[in-house]
Every structure is written in C-alpha cells, then in structure tokens.
Copies of this chain bind each other. A is one copy, B any other.
Amino acid sequence: MNGINGHDADISDFSHAKGQHFLIEAFKVIFEEAICKATDVNEKVCDWHDPEQLEELLDLELRDSGESHDQLLSRVRDVAKYSVKTNHPRFFNQLFSGLDYHALAGRLLSETLNTSQYTYEVAPVFVLMEHVVLTKLISMVGWPSGDGLFCPGGSMSNMVAMNVARYHAFPQMKQQGLWALPRLAVFTSQECHYSVMKAAAFLGIGTDNVFHVKTDQSGSMDPQDLEVKIMLARSQGAVPFFVTATSGTTIRGAFDPLETIADICEKHCLWMHVDAAHGGSVLFSKKHKHLVKGIERANSVTWNQHKMLTTGLQCSAFLVRDTANLLQKCHCASATYLFQQDKFYDMSLDTGDKTIQCGRKVDCLKLWLMWKAVGTKGLAERVERALSLTRYLAEAIKKREGFQLLSEPTFVNTCFWYIPPSLRGKENSADYQDRLSKVAPTIKEQMVKEGTMMVGYQPLNGQVNFFRMIVISPQTSQRDMDFCLDEIERLGKDL
C-alpha cells in the first residue's frame, strides 16, 4: 500500500492510502449495518419515515466542497440504516430476498474489478465464465446446445426474446424496420409479467398487438384460448409470430402448460418463449421440475437467478436454442473500436456484440461463486426447501380462522386474504368486497410503519386486494411463517 502509488505527489495528489482506509472503515459499517443487523430477526425490516422526514435525516444535497472521513462514514451508516432490509428473514415483499454470502462476495469482487463483459481482451475470466454458466443453464433447460447472455433484468431478457424471434422470422426488419413487415401479433397470458407489454411498446409492435390469452382458475394459460386468439389475430390481418408462456407468474406463481403450448407453437410455426424469470429455478429440483415440463421445446427462455436463487440483483439469463449465431446476427453492429477483426486471439470470444448493450456489467461471477460454494445439490435443496416452506405456510393458512387462500400455491407465491372478525360471515353484504379490499393496504401500512415484516398485496382479475407472500430466502423458517400470520392477525383484528 503505497500512498501515492509510486508517483510523485505533485503529479497526482490522489491518495490511495486515504482511500483505502476509508474503504476498510466503510466495509466495517456495511458489515455491521447491512449484514449483521439486516439479517437479524430481532431487528426491523425497515425503519419507515415519511419522505419529508427522511430527506431531512439524510441531507442528500450535493455541494461544492467535499466532506470529512467521519461525515462520509456516517453517511454510509445512514444509507444502510434507513434502507429496507431485503436480506431480512421477514422480507417477503418481492420476488427476491435473502442473502447468499458467496454470491455477495462475487458481487463485491465484480464491483471492485469493474470491467465490462464485452471482449476477451478486458474480461478474459468472465467471458469464459459466462460461457460455462450459460452452458450449464442451457443443459438444465434440456437443450443439447444453445446460446445466451446475461441481461440487466428479466424485462430486458423478455424484450431481447421478442426481438430475436422477430429477427428470426423477418431478418429484413433489422435494416428496414417494421414498415417492411406485416402487422405482427404476440401472445401471452392474462397473468404474464408486464414486461411483455413494455417490450411490445418499446420494440414498435404496440400493445394492441399483444393478445392476452385467458388463464384457468390457478392462473395458468388456457391453451384452447391460445388457439382462439391466434385465429382472432389472423382474422384481423395480423401475423402471429411469438408466444410468451410463463413459468412462475409474478402474482400467483402459476406455470403455463408448456407441452400443449409447444404443440400449438409448432403447429402454427410460432416462436415459443418461456418467461421463467421467476420459476426457472425449479429445474434444479428433481421433485418439482415437472412444473416446467416441455421447456426444452421452447425457442428461448428467460431465467432470473437473482430471484429464486438469491444471487442478488441483477442476474437474468436469456437463453436461446439456436446454434447458428442468431443472437450475434440479430444484434451486431460490428464496432471497429471494440470488435477489431485483426486481433491476435479467437474473435468469437468477444461476445459483446451479441447484446443490445455496449458496456455490460459482469453478472455471471456471483452465480458462479455461489454455485461453486454449494454445488448443484445445494441449490436444489434450497429450491425444495422454499417450496416446502410455502406448503407449510399454505397449510397454516388453511388451519387459521379468518385466513383464506386465493388458490393452492404451486410454487413459492402464497396468495391469501385476511378477513378481520368484523367481516367474517358477511360475504353477502353489499360492501363486503369494498371493505375487504381495504384490509390488506391497511395492514401493510401498519407493518411497514412498525417495521416488523414486509409482504406485498394487490388485486387481480376483479378479486380485491389480497396478500402475496413470497418465500425464497434460505434464511427464513417455519417460525417466520407463523410470525407473519400472527402479525397480520394482530394488525388486522380490529379492522
């Protein structure tokens, strides 16, 4: 550790010694606040403040002059203190939660190395690593080979899927744009993730050209209605080209029937994409992988490891069952300053032109290191543990008075209403639905303000606000499930 790194002080006054000292002290604070306290079940999940209050507490303004070491350290502490602890065992609010220490170590290393995943030249380790990880995921999907890349989130992966499918069907679109093509039609279920709509809008296809296929009672796509919608689109003069099936829907965790959908896609020559952002990780489990039976017949798959596998944001694999360099052809722009064709190594290692990005963060390392740490078996156990904990929760809900499941959970999403005593037995009164719809938001407000736990809620298909509890973290237990139900009861019993 040389203070000025072998340079004369008058040339560069940048002090490594001071910087390194700060970093070490900051890491101690991060460790205490954002790891030890954040994962401690006896601490709060969040320390709620109104925006005005929080603004005052934080003093966010950026000024001309810098601050002292101590001031900066207390800023690190405050940011941690007032942030929501997604690593907390009682954070069930999103499709990610929990802390994997090895994945976190991988993230810290990626951040420190700070390179971009585009060429072997600047990311030799990560070009090879991404390939190994993607190849492993591809084999788990059940394809003999394929291609892929990590995208900044599942929404982007879904967009990329739509674009690749479009290019595959109409390669001229890359140059000529959509004006050279007939009106295209996209199919997905009513309970798909909203990124399908965002993709259609962004890619110039338009949300009107997304046909929403009905779902059954459990939230899975009704394949008969898919056929109906394909006919409908055709009758309107649109050209169907793309179906997104969902494996693990966002709200209910439902799985679309992939085999039947694959039959329909084959019959109509449509690109079959599986949005397994949430549910893809069941591929680890012998016991549960039947949920995605038929996924190997898909043309492409989105699979977020930052959800179920707790790698940390972001880690979303886009996988494609193609071996003819489709990704590259679809996305390449052949920049000569990055992808020189006269390099001294195999240029196919410069994978960056397969993406729509230029600089791209290294997303593979966190997953790789975690996988090395616990092995495929360890990851399988975690998936199974999460599903069995969800089972436990569902059974507990069934046993409790005043709790009602929306439908049996098939995955790690448990959707349920809490019905306060004042509403029980009043199902037929005129204002029942209206009053019930206010229960979850009110309880949510209380839990957040007290900071005891976090669980999401939303309405769906005309059904009023219900809780959606997501069990993913390897650090949660049956005790946390029971706590959660007790807490909802405590907060809601007088409503």
New contact pairs (12) apart from A51-B127, A340-B465, CB-CB < 8 Å: A6-B41, A14-B475, A23-B104, A26-B105, A26-B108, A27-B27, A66-B377, A115-B313, A152-B357, A177-B204, A179-B183, A203-B204
A144: CB under 8 A from chain B?
no
Given the contacts A6-B42, A26-B105, A358 and B124 also touching, CB distance less than 8 Å? no
Q: Contact check, B109 vs A30: say whether CB atoms are below 8 A apart.
A: yes
What are 21 A-B contacts with C-beta separation under 8 Å? A7-B475, A7-B477, A19-B101, A24-B31, A34-B112, A51-B124, A60-B128, A62-B133, A67-B375, A72-B102, A79-B109, A82-B125, A94-B116, A96-B359, A111-B312, A152-B156, A153-B360, A155-B357, A178-B204, A314-B359, A344-B445
- Chain B residues with CB under 8 Å of A229's CB are none
Given the contacts A108-B26, A155-B357, A369-B76, A209 and B177 also touching, CB distance less than 8 Å? yes
Q: Contact check, A122 vs B108: say whether CB atoms are below 8 A apart.
A: no
Q: Contact check, B365 vs A79: say whether CB atoms are below 8 A apart.
A: yes
- Chain B residues with CB under 8 Å of A346's CB are 51
For the complex formed, measure the closest distance between the CB of A304 and the CB atoms of chain B, giving whole angstroms: 8
- Chain B residues with CB under 8 Å of A457's CB are 340
For the complex formed, measure the closest distance between the CB of A476 and the CB atoms of chain B, giving whole angstroms: 7
Please, which residue of chain B has its CB at the minimum distance from the CB of A362?
B313
Given the contacts A337-B468, A445-B344, A83 and B123 also touching, CB distance less than 8 Å? yes
User: Which residue of B64, B86, B344 contacts A113 across the interface (Cβ within 8 Å)?
Assistant: B86
Q: Contact check, A208 vs B175: say whether CB atoms are below 8 A apart.
A: yes
Please, which residue of chain B has its CB at the minimum distance from the CB of A376?
B64
Given the contacts A67-B372, A372-B66, A475-B5, A83 and B115 also touching, CB distance less than 8 Å? yes
A132: CB under 8 A from chain B?
yes
Q: Contact check, A124 vs B82: say whether CB atoms are below 8 A apart.
A: yes
Q: Contact check, A30 vs B250: say whether CB atoms are below 8 A apart.
A: no
For the complex formed, measure the closest distance between the CB of A365 and the CB atoms of chain B, giving whole angstroms: 7
A351: CB under 8 A from chain B?
no
A75: CB under 8 A from chain B?
yes
- Chain B residues with CB under 8 Å of A30's CB are 105, 108-109, 112
A458: CB under 8 A from chain B?
yes
Question: Considering residues A54, A114, A127, A179, which has the most beta carbons from chain B within 10 angstroms of its beta carbon?
Answer: A114
A56-99, CB < 8 A from B: 58, 60-67, 71-72, 75-76, 79-80, 82-87, 89, 93-94, 96, 99
A474: CB under 8 A from chain B?
yes
Bound: A460/B18 CA distance, A: 42
How many copies the complex holds: the figure is: 2
Bound: A339/B40 CA distance, A: 28
The 0/1 profile, CB within 8 Å of B marked 1, for residues 452-467 of chain A is 0010111110000100
A16: CB under 8 A from chain B?
yes
The 0/1 profile, CB within 8 Å of B marked 1, for residues 11-45 of chain A is 11010101110111011001100111011111000
Given the contacts A132-B61, A194-B358, A336-B458, A12 and B94 also touching, CB distance less than 8 Å? no
- Chain B residues with CB under 8 Å of A372's CB are 62, 66-67, 71-72, 75
A349: CB under 8 A from chain B?
yes
- Chain B residues with CB under 8 Å of A205's CB are 177-178, 204
Q: Contact check, B104 vs A116: say whether CB atoms are below 8 A apart.
A: no
Q: Contact check, B66 vs A93: say whether CB atoms are below 8 A apart.
A: no
User: Which residue of B6, B204, B344 contacts A204 across the interface (Cβ within 8 Å)?
Assistant: B204
Given the contacts A124-B49, A475-B5, A358 and B177 also touching, CB distance less than 8 Å? no
Q: Contact check, B111 vs A86: say whether CB atoms are below 8 A apart.
A: no
For the complex formed, measure the closest distance between the CB of A231 and the CB atoms of chain B, giving whole angstroms: 20
- Chain B residues with CB under 8 Å of A58's CB are 125, 128-129
